[in-house]
Structure 1
Amino acid sequence: MEGPRVTSSMGVMFNLLSKLNTSMDQPGFKDARGDLISLKDELGNMKALMHKFATQDESMDLQVKEWMRQVREVGYDAEDWIDSHPPVSSAEARGTRLGGGFFSRNSRRRKLAELIKELKDRVKEASKRRSRYLIREDWDDAAVDNDEPVDLGPSNVTVDRQLLYGLDGSMLVGTNAPVSELVGKLQAGGEQRFMVVSIVGAGGLGKTTLAREVYRTIHGEFDCCAFVSVGQNPHITAVLLNMLHQLDPQQRLVDDADQQPMDEPTVVGKLREFLEEKRYFIVVDDIWSASTWRDIKCALPENSTRGSRIVTTTRMNDVAKSCSGRPIDFTHLMKPLNEADSKQLFSSRLQQSLPELEACDEVSEEKLFRHVWKICGGTPLAIIVMAGMLNRKSPDWFDHEDNVVEALQKYPALQGMRRTLRICYSDLTLPVKTCLLYLSVFPEGAAMEKKRLIWRWIAEGFIPDAEGDKATAPWETAESYFNDLVTRRLIQPAESGDAVRVTVHNVVLEFISSVAGEENFVTSQVMLRSKPRDVVRRLSLNGGGGDQQGDVDGGESATEQEAPVNLSQLRSLTVFGALAKSLSNGF
């Protein structure tokens, strides 16, 4: 199967070379055919070298990364130029020559020659930089040749049914004691005073899982309940609207006067009015700042005689203190799993997709776990993602310990979740890497529909064209990539029972957003403010509002004014929130 048309690490090289071939056969480019052939040959050489470097990830020299970035930008610019000069038929070309006159014809040729020369000069300059940076075509060939994972093909990638049903109580590991402790604190026999319990710990330790299990256990004891996620860059009104909808499904979320989404003061008033005389239980997940908590807290009355309860989760100790600052409140510090629980979690996840390993001797399984334990420690998310990667290996692969050592001892300079995710990311094929990075266009907590996501991958040109007798349709190939990511637990079903809608854990989303930003693959609204770019290729704007957990299309209009950005070379724009609705209503 031919490589993908677009990959994150290789820019647009595959697509660009195909378009250059097509352009050379067009009558309108006849005079520039020689220059186009020269440009194509030079870019072809660069494509081959970039393909080698694309598998090196963190081990690449910074100068190599910079060179690849420059070549990617040249490739994007060249494709922009080709797209702005669409093919013409022979008849159209003859009509242009007859009606345009000598000066018009010469002017077009001259402009065409100047544009191609500019692109050629930029390509030649990139080649000179490669020499100056001492980037050799045989650079670390041995490592490169072995690093590119084998694409198992669409027919070999399915989703194990057990993965579609998430983590029920019987599958959770190491949570019984903390769940019992928190439930005891929250129930506090006969205690009717208002209480806030904070869960604090590093990303990936299972704060949200613990909070969900506590919520599942006791939510029936209250008049009304809600579970909302906040995230690193929250739209407070969106969070509060989501909360109001869960607490009071009958409540209209728009202003009766102008039929627009409620503003923040209105939502706060509605929440306080509804909750004032009720015993409520609310989980506020993933709070990143004390100011965010203060904004949300304004909507939650401390009806001290009702015994209402709030559970918050955060990574920061100071935020936890802000949430649970009163003597009656309680803070629970998350701890990594102990070695025994970590081994149980790893073994259960690995054998979901590789039951053949159940028959392997205990010594081999212990050796495998030891390698994983050194990297992941007792971080549940790291163990689950690592097991997901190993699930994609054939049983024969485990017969050779060298395979395990080589796969799991990469990137020793990195630590914690960053190293785990980098190892698992490097194990993906190039097209699957691209599909994963594309998820960074979606906001935190978004639930993405499988069908819509796959069609977007296809529309962006991430899916290889099918060839040969065993060719598969683009949809089948894209679906195999989707299933691969679910099996690896890099994406996870939003609801138990089916992977029709999926989400990305916020720790994974942070990682892929970082990589996508480094490669100028996707630019988010936050990146526009913190790291302005000269050229933006794919832009994602999140206006907030609506149910961010349940629908990426809900929202309120964005009011922040970004610094001026050149969008003349923008290839795709994704807008969430009411701004998206207003744009769609305008057409």
Structure 2
Amino acid sequence: MAEAIIVNIVVDKLANIIAKEIQFLGGVGEKVKKAQRELTRIQSCLKDADSKRKLDERVQNWLNELRDVAYCIEDAIDMFFIKVECNKNHTCLQKLKNKPREVYFLHKLGTKLNSIQNELEEISKSRLNYGITALQDIAVGDPVILPVRRTTYSEVDETEVVGLHADRDKILKLLHREETPRRAVITIVGTGGIGKTTLAHIIYKRDKSNTIFLFVCISSAKAKFEYHIMLSVSQQFNLTELLKKMLRQLIDDVPNELDVEGLMSELKKKLSSRRYLIILDDVWQVDVWNHLKNALPDDKNGSRVLITSRSIDVAKSADPIMAPCELNLLDDQKSIDLLLKKALPNQEPSEELASDLLTLANELSKKCEGLPLALVVLGGILSTKDRNYHAWERVFRTMDWHSKGKECMDVLAMSYEDMPYYLKACFLYLALFPEDYQISARRLIRMWVAEGFIPQEERITMEEIAEDYLYELFQRSMIQVSSRHVNGSIKCFQVHDVLRDLAMHKAREENFFMVFSKESDSRKPNKEIRRASFHSLKDSDDSHLRNNLLYLQYTRSLLLFGEYGWSQIPNFRKFRILKVLVLEGVKNHDVDLVRGLEKLVHLKYLGLRGCTIPISKCSFHRMKVLETLDMRGMINDVELPNGLWSIDTLRHVMCYKPFELPETTAKLKNIQTMQWVYFNKKMPLLSNLCKLGIYIPSWGDPILNLTTNLLATLPSLVSLSIDSWYLTMEVVYPKTLPNYQLLQSLYLEGKWPKDVTLDASLFPPHLLKLTLVGSRFEQNPMRELEKLKSLKKLCLEHEVLSDELYNSGEIFCPAGFPVLQNLKLGVLSVKSLTVAEGTMPNLKYINLFKRSIKCHLPPELQHVSITFEHNF
């Protein structure tokens, strides 16, 4: 019920106007209050309406009418303030009354609100005809705060996977079959949601970590692939981008000027004489392999390509000799096993389920027709219900099972209908990202906040509430987590293409957004587009944007994805009420285009990753509500725009190039993230920061006490990064860092001070992740670092050891590290790593700088996954 979120946003906006600016609206203010009161009454009826929308099409029409009226109110208010802003040279709204043009704007707003009020009254009256009643005790408008249910970091446990073990073992044997020295192509074929990608990830992880020997009895010398590449292809096949992504997994820098032929030549040269495993997930077109095969050398050394696809034609075309592995739907027993694993995640296998509940579970699992994705999603729904017959029977009863052949899609559709109102808009928003896109959780959360999807509460930030929302989507199996932060929170995730299709379908029904791509419908929409996303459109395809300008004037979110040059992007003045603007990979040097950004007075989120846009030519003085500016990865122009520090709503500012803060930051009371900041004598104190990156230049006056003063005023700090040529004693002095009870991640780059002995007591007591770069320690640092009892990830990077005084090249871990899971040694001078028995009992991953480093692990750590940054 995205309508509930939309109405909620408008009610909150009207309440804010009434509280802060109603005195400047004259007689129109009473009309604003009246609209707010009417919408508030309707809010309490939305939950009842949502439960009846499937039973009565008229109820759906009622919701559509309410949604459109709510949009009209928001549009009218936003456009009024834009016109006012354009008609004045200062911010004082008290002078509006005496200006003729602004009086005219007030008159137009009042006339519009009169018309809208009449519609609202008709909508309010008509709900009684449909039997929609107010549910005051569970009003939709009441914010819902989820309990914190974050878990510790854990990879997908293969024991949780049902029905794929035989296929896994079969493919593993094919990968290493000595009788087939040629470059063979193995294909996994099956319908959407059957587990192709899951199986491919299991195989990739198993083989890359060398634990394959537990399952396939072959010699280790012939088992190892020197290179491993895995990437998703998806429907929007772009050969240039595909080749670049493959090369990036082999080399650090891929020249931008290389064309397709150059990329293929470079890839072939890199793979030549090497034994490689390449996994291409989600291949839709036969042309993919026809293009790529010329770039993959066949040196008769047992190299393999693994392809997953829904099309048997893709499999036959790729390798006519090698029979495809066709995944089958699960039988009844495996179906019920998978369903119960997801529905009862904390139940021990030995626990028995009540007979009536087990019978009902069997009936539910049969309706999924053996499709793993449907079973996983249904299990996610059941996991949120009470474990009793009545709760599960209601799920069975309320699902539409009557359309034969559509049971699986009914399960997926119910996963959306079963969501609480506050999750529906959040879920739909995920489909704005391209297919198979790795979505950053923090990025998405900030966009949700900017859109107004997240309520504001005391004693908890909106970002924390949004994180709980995202975790609930994970619990319901609506997202697939790709990686986690060291504290267990979600870092990146994907949306299964079947669930993304569901979100796209629901979004079209509810006029929530529209996506434009090469495959999208070229017909013009029949009403205004509230959110729009453009995916990988070249200059020749940008007519999608130009032809739909009329329908984009009320767009709240505009997302442009793809490394292309937009020769005719319309001036942003045409998108006047944008809240969220994402330009990813856009190449445009038009200064006039950028200056159009200055007109976006309602903008809250601006993302410019990988862009070549002269943002420093833009003034942000009119952007009074901006919350997030993400300039990471911008090319060439990375200077901060003028007027940024006058915005008191700023929450997150991120840029890879260090920037300077103003002398006074009194307005930055909401700031949470600052990366990277130049540290100097004028460095202000920002007491509300949670994440801070500091760059200390090697030049300038001494800063003996400044660092201490700064660090002593950040009690809420969770992540701290310091980059300097050398680390002063004050940075690591025991009276600063150890006092940080909340600090979880610490990054220190710079030479360790000679007058400070490395000691575990120098670090925060609850540190989870520690990265040390260029420390030049004279002794083995492991003897002290092993005492950090909460440390889960340790990264020792470039020149962490002094070449002059520590030349043995051996890293020895004698004891300790009780909870360490991830160890990275990106150190060129290291020749060997030795871990004593009983050390690092929870270790899962080791990443070494080069393959030549000898790794000596005790028997209990033989399962650890070992990867290498370089293959020399």
Instruction: Give the TM-score normalised by the residue count of structure 2.
Output: 0.56
Amino acid at match of 1:234: F
Gaps of 5+ in 1: 1-6, 546-551
Task: Confirm or deny: 8 A CA contact 1:67 1:130 kept in the other structure.
Answer: no
Which of 10, 14, 17 lines up with 2:8 in the alignment? Answer: 14
Which structure: larger Rg? 2
Which of 522, 530, 539 lines up with 2:522 in the alignment? Answer: 530
| Percent identity between the two aligned chains | 25
Moved more, 50-59 or 333-342: 50-59
Task: Confirm or deny: 8 A CA contact 1:543 1:575 kept in the other structure.
Answer: no
Amino acid at match of 2:383: N
CA distance in 1: counterparts of 2:204 and 2:164, whole angstroms: 13
2:229 match: 226
1:306 match: 301
Residues 3-82 of structure 1 mapped to structure 2, 5 A cutoff: 8-10=2-4, 12-23=6-17, 26-44=22-40, 47-56=43-52, 58-59=54-55, 61=57, 64-82=59-77
How far the C-alpha of 1:391 sits from its partner, in A, is: 1.4
SS at 2:159 equivalent: coil
How far the C-alpha of 1:11 sits from its partner, in A, is: 5.7
SS at 2:179 equivalent: coil
Which of 538, 543, 556 lines up with 2:563 in the alignment? Answer: 556
Which of 96, 112, 123 lines up with 1:118 in the alignment? Answer: 112
Task: Confirm or deny: 8 A CA contact 1:279 1:307 kept in the other structure.
Answer: yes
Residues 287-298 of structure 1 mapped to structure 2, 5 A cutoff: 287-298=283-294
Task: Confirm or deny: 8 A CA contact 1:494 1:502 kept in the other structure.
Answer: yes
CA distance in 1: counterparts of 2:244 and 2:301, whole angstroms: 23
CA distance in 2: counterparts of 1:201 and 1:144, whole angstroms: 45
SS at 1:493 equivalent: strand
1:576 match: 584
Task: Confirm or deny: 8 A CA contact 2:45 2:133 kept in the other structure.
Answer: no
How far the C-alpha of 1:37 sits from its partner, in A, is: 4.5
1:190 match: 179
- Supply the RMSD in Å over aligned alpha carbons: 4.0
Gaps of 5+ in 2: 86-90, 209-222, 539-558, 588-607, 617-872
Which of 492, 502, 525 lines up with 2:480 in the alignment? Answer: 492
2:268 match: 272
1:175 match: 164
Note if 1:323 corresponds to 2:324. no
For residues 36 and 344 of structure 1, do their structure 2 counterparts lie closer, same or farther at Cα, with a shift above 3 Å needed? closer
2:448 match: 457
Moved more, 482-491 or 217-226: 217-226
Task: Confirm or deny: 8 A CA contact 1:539 1:573 kept in the other structure.
Answer: no
Task: Confirm or deny: 8 A CA contact 2:473 2:479 kept in the other structure.
Answer: yes
CA distance in 1: counterparts of 2:420 and 2:112, whole angstroms: 34
SS at 2:26 equivalent: helix
CA distance in 2: counterparts of 1:417 and 1:560, whole angstroms: 44
Instruction: Give the TM-score normalised by the residue count of structure 1.
Output: 0.80
Select the structure that is richer in helix: 1
2:434 match: 443
What are the superposed Cα offsets for residues 233-253 of structure 1, whole Å, 9 maximum, x if unpaired? 23332222121122x234x21
Moved more, 557-566 or 453-462: 557-566
1:4 match: none
CA distance in 1: counterparts of 2:350 and 2:150, whole angstroms: 19
What are the superposed Cα offsets for residues 483-503 of structure 1, whole Å, 9 maximum, x if unpaired? 211212212321377323222
Task: Confirm or deny: 8 A CA contact 2:332 2:366 kept in the other structure.
Answer: no
How far the C-alpha of 1:56 sits from its partner, in A, is: 4.6
Task: Confirm or deny: 8 A CA contact 1:67 1:126 kept in the other structure.
Answer: no
SS at 1:577 equivalent: strand
How far the C-alpha of 1:578 sits from its partner, in A, is: 4.9
Amino acid at match of 1:249: I
Amino acid at match of 1:312: I
Amino acid at match of 1:582: C
CA distance in 1: counterparts of 2:52 and 2:274, whole angstroms: 57
2:386 match: 394
For residues 516 and 575 of structure 1, do their structure 2 counterparts lie closer, same or farther at Cα, with a shift above 3 Å needed? farther
1:209 match: 198
For residues 149 and 341 of structure 1, do their structure 2 counterparts lie closer, same or farther at Cα, with a shift above 3 Å needed? farther
How far the C-alpha of 1:130 sits from its partner, in A, is: 9.3
Question: Number of aligned pairs?
Answer: 546
1:249 match: 251
How far the C-alpha of 1:312 sits from its partner, in A, is: 0.9
Amino acid at match of 2:343: L
CA distance in 1: counterparts of 2:11 and 2:560, whole angstroms: 36
For residues 68 and 569 of structure 1, do their structure 2 counterparts lie closer, same or farther at Cα, with a shift above 3 Å needed? farther
Task: Confirm or deny: 8 A CA contact 1:8 1:434 kept in the other structure.
Answer: yes
How far the C-alpha of 1:363 sits from its partner, in A, is: 0.9
CA distance in 1: counterparts of 2:420 and 2:521, whole angstroms: 32
Select the structure that is richer in strand: 2
What are the superposed Cα offsets for residues 146-199 of structure 1, whole Å, 9 maximum, x if unpaired? 9999999545341455xx524333332222221222233333332212221221
Task: Confirm or deny: 8 A CA contact 1:535 1:567 kept in the other structure.
Answer: no
Residues 379-418 of structure 1 mapped to structure 2, 5 A cutoff: 379-395=371-387, 397-398=388-389, 402-407=393-398, 409-410=399-400, 412-413=402-403, 415-418=406-409
Indicate the structure whose relative CO is greater, using CA pairs within 8 Å and at least 6 residues apart.
1
How far the C-alpha of 1:373 sits from its partner, in A, is: 1.3
SS at 2:181 equivalent: coil
CA distance in 2: counterparts of 1:452 and 1:210, whole angstroms: 28
SS at 2:456 equivalent: coil
How far the C-alpha of 1:67 sits from its partner, in A, is: 4.9
Task: Confirm or deny: 8 A CA contact 2:233 2:281 kept in the other structure.
Answer: yes
Task: Confirm or deny: 8 A CA contact 2:513 2:531 kept in the other structure.
Answer: yes
CA distance in 2: counterparts of 1:10 and 1:40, whole angstroms: 14
2:648 match: none
Residues 77-92 of structure 1 mapped to structure 2, 5 A cutoff: 77-86=72-81
For residues 535 and 293 of structure 1, do their structure 2 counterparts lie closer, same or farther at Cα, with a shift above 3 Å needed? farther
Amino acid at match of 1:455: R
